[in-house]
Amino acid sequence: MNRRERSIPATGYPEAPVLPWSAGQPRPALPAGTAGISVHMRSRGTDPVTWEAYKAVGVDDRPMWQGLGRMVVVTAPGEHLVEVRGRFSADTVRRVRVAAGEIVELDCWTPVPYGQPQSVLVPMPGRRRPGAGAWMVLAPLAVLAAFALVVTRAGLSVTPPLAVAFLLSPLPAMALVSLVKRHLDRAYRVRASREAAEDVRAADTGMFLADGAPPAGLTDGAHGALVVTGTARLEYRWNGMRVGTPATLDPNSWVPWPTLTIDGAPRPFSWRTWAYRLPPGEHEVVVAVHSPAPDRPEVSRVPVRVRVAAGQVTRLELRVDARTEVRANHGRQRVPTELAGFTATIEPRMR
C-alpha cells in the first residue's frame, strides 16, 4: 500500500458485500456459488489526486466501496454493470459477465486530462495512456524558444508590444494541446467501450453502449434507433455546507439511476449511453429520477416526445441536476449521515 492509498484507503460501505484485496496478496476466497468483481482504483504518481481522487465503486446501482486501492465485490454469477463515480456523477460504467468462482478484474485510472478529470474502467491491466500530460509544459516552452530564436535572428529590438507578444505566445499552444488531449481521451473511451460492438439485436429491448458510438446495423429500412445518454451533476450539502467532505465518502450521495419508459414500456437504463431500436414515428419517452432514500421514491418525472426515422439515429441527452442534503451529528466525524433532503431536475436535449 503506497502513501496515497493509506491517505484514502479502500473502505466498504455499510453492509456492502466486499472483500479486501491488498497489493501483493493472493486473491480472496469467494463464498460458494458466488462471483467477484475487482476494481483496482489506481494511485500512481501520474494520476490526479487531492479532491478528484475520491472515487466510489458501485455494482448494479448499489454503492459498494470508496477510496484508492482494490476491493472485490461479491455478487451473483451473470451480467452486471460496474461503475465508478467521482465528485459529481458517474465517471465510467462497464458491463461485465462473471461466472461462479470467477473474479473479473478491472483497472480504473484517470488519463490526466485538463479541467475536471474523469476516470476510465478497462480490463486489467490498463496500460495504454492516451496522450501525454507533459506536452502542456513542453509545447509552451518550445513556442517560447522558437519566438526568441526568430526575434534574435531577425535582429529585432525588444519593445513593450514585442515583450507582451512573447509572454502570450504559449497560450495558443496550450489551447491546442488541451484540445488534442481531450480528443484523444474521448477516442480512448469509445475504443474501450467494447459493449458497443456486441449483437445489435439487444437494442430491440435496450443495448448498453457505455461511451461507444452506435454500431453499424443498428438501423434498417424498417427501424430507426434512439440513443439516450444520461449524465448527472450532484450538489452535495453536508450539515448545510457545500464543502468540507468529499461526497463519495457518503453512500447517501449515491444518486440512483433514472428509470426510463418508451411508449409506456419500461426499458433498461443507467448512466452513460443506451440504444433502442424502434419503428419509425413519434414515441413518448418518460424519464424519472428517484431519491437515494431506502425506498427510492420518485422525485422528478419528465415526458419527451421524440421522432424516429427509419435508417437514422436520433439522439437524446438527459442531464440530471441533483441536490442531496445530509445531516451528521457525530462531531468532526463525516459519516454516517442521515438523508435530510433530495431534489432533482431533468433537462432533456435533442441533438
Alpha carbon distance 256, 319 (integer Å) = 14
CA distances from 198 to 74, 188, 210, 212 (A): 26, 18, 12, 11
Please check whether residue 188 lies inside any domain of the structure. Answer: no
| Whether residue 221 is found in the same domain as residue 331 | yes
Please check whether residue 194 lies inside any domain of the structure. Answer: no
| Whether residue 178 is found in the same domain as residue 300 | no
Please check whether residue 9 lies inside any domain of the structure. Answer: yes
| Whether residue 170 is found in the same domain as residue 214 | no
DSSP H or E stretch at residue 349: strand 338-350
Please check whether residue 28 lies inside any domain of the structure. Answer: yes
Instruction: Write out the residue range of the structural domain in which residue 163 sits.
Output: 135-183
Model pTM? 0.86
For the chain, the domain total comes to 3
Q: Which pLDDT belongs to residue 177?
A: 80
| Whether residue 163 is found in the same domain as residue 35 | no
| Whether residue 111 is found in the same domain as residue 150 | no
| Whether residue 170 is found in the same domain as residue 227 | no
Phi-psi group of 272: left, alpha or beta (phi > 0 → left; psi -120 to 50 → alpha; rest → beta): left
Please check whether residue 192 lies inside any domain of the structure. Answer: no
| Whether residue 21 is found in the same domain as residue 110 | yes
Please check whether residue 204 lies inside any domain of the structure. Answer: yes
With cell 466498504, the residue in question is: 12
| Whether residue 203 is found in the same domain as residue 344 | yes
Q: What is the pLDDT along the chain (351 residues), one digit of tens a residue?
A: 556 666 788 999 999 999 999 878 899 999 999 999 999 987 655 554 444 568 899 999 999 999 888 999 999 999 999 999 987 788 899 999 999 999 999 988 776 555 556 788 988 877 655 555 677 778 888 888 888 888 888 888 888 888 888 888 888 888 888 788 778 878 888 888 989 888 999 999 999 999 999 998 999 999 999 999 999 999 999 988 876 667 888 999 999 999 999 999 999 999 999 999 999 999 999 999 999 999 999 999 999 999 999 999 999 999 999 999 999 877 677 888 999 999 999 999 998
